Amino acid sequence: MLKWEVAESFGENKPLKFISDGMLGKLTRWLRMLGHNVKYSNKLDDTQLIIIAKKERRILLTRDFELYQQAIAKGVDTFYLEGKTEEEKLAELARRFNIKLEIDMTTSRCPKCNTRVNLVPKERIAKKVEKSTFAHYGEFWQCPKCGQVYWQGAHWKRIRKTLQEAKEISEKPSQDKK
């Protein structure tokens, strides 16, 4: 049942709910930035991951084949990631779940704590960023939960590059097609 419900939502590029295993901290941050709701803690064991995934109807993401098999046997929607780099992993997810590899700040979540970020009046963050940053950029977002401030600074180039590379990988014809 759950399988069908999740599968139907893939076509719409709407935010998805995931839970990722302790090895996927980096990927978790990417997915949150892309607007998806991702629960993550490296303190959860396999049993807890499966219970939470089931209870909260989250798709379990894992690099652990044993956990993958266990979760499938318990009827949890699970995706096994094979990619080595972040780009490869993002590409796999984009293909499987029809995820758009572009950051939309209106739906973006705090990579640290999974809360939706808000566009904030510049004045409000004046004391929170370096003077040069404040002078140079016009738009700032803040996480209402942890207070972290975000802006599309020099590091944004790298972010775009990673996403562009992931996009290119995801558009290549799949190798495991039979």
Rg (CA), the chain: 17
Nearer to Zn ion by C-beta: 3 or 26? 26
- Least spacing, CB of residue 133 vs Zn ion, in Å: 18
Angle between helices 25-33 and 86-97 (to 10 degrees): 50
Nearer to Zn ion by C-beta: 29 or 58? 29
- Least spacing, CB of residue 147 vs Zn ion, in Å: 7
- Least spacing, CB of residue 62 vs Zn ion, in Å: 24
- Least spacing, CB of residue 142 vs Zn ion, in Å: 9
List of residues contacting Zn ion (CB under 5 A): 110, 112-113, 115, 143, 145-146, 148
Rounded Cα gap, residues 51 and 57, in angstroms: 10
Rounded Cα gap, residues 78 and 60, in angstroms: 5
Phi first, then psi, for residue 40 (nearest 5°) are: -150, 135
| Separation of first and last alpha carbons in the chain | 27
- Least spacing, CB of residue 48 vs Zn ion, in Å: 22
Rounded Cα gap, residues 146 and 21, in angstroms: 22
Contact 109, 148 (CB under 8 A): no
Nearer to Zn ion by C-beta: 2 or 146? 146
Nearer to Zn ion by C-beta: 115 or 133? 115
Nearer to Zn ion by C-beta: 136 or 145? 145
Pairing of strands 59-62, 78-80: parallel
Q: What single-letter DSSP state applies at residue 124?
A: G
